[in-house]
Amino acid sequence: MTFTEPSDDRAAIADFNAARDAEYAEVLQRLPELRRELADARARGNATYAEVEESEADLERFRTWLHKIARRDYFAAFGAQAARDAVAEAAADLASFEDAALWADDSLAPDVPVEDLPAAESRLRAANES
Q: Which parts of 10-73 are beta strand (E)?
A: none
Which class for 63: exposed (0-12), middle (13-18), buried (19 or more C-beta within 10 A)?
middle
Q: Are 121 and 99 in contact (CB under 8 A)?
A: yes
pLDDT string in tens for the chain (130-residue length): 566 777 777 899 999 999 999 999 999 999 999 999 999 998 888 888 889 999 999 999 999 999 999 999 999 999 999 999 999 999 999 999 998 888 776 555 555 454 555 565 566 666 666 5
Question: What CA–CA distances, in Å, run from 51 to 25, 39, 42, 69, 93?
Answer: 26, 11, 10, 27, 13
Cβ within 8 Å of residue 107, ≥6 positions away: none
Residue ranges of domains in the chain? 6-129
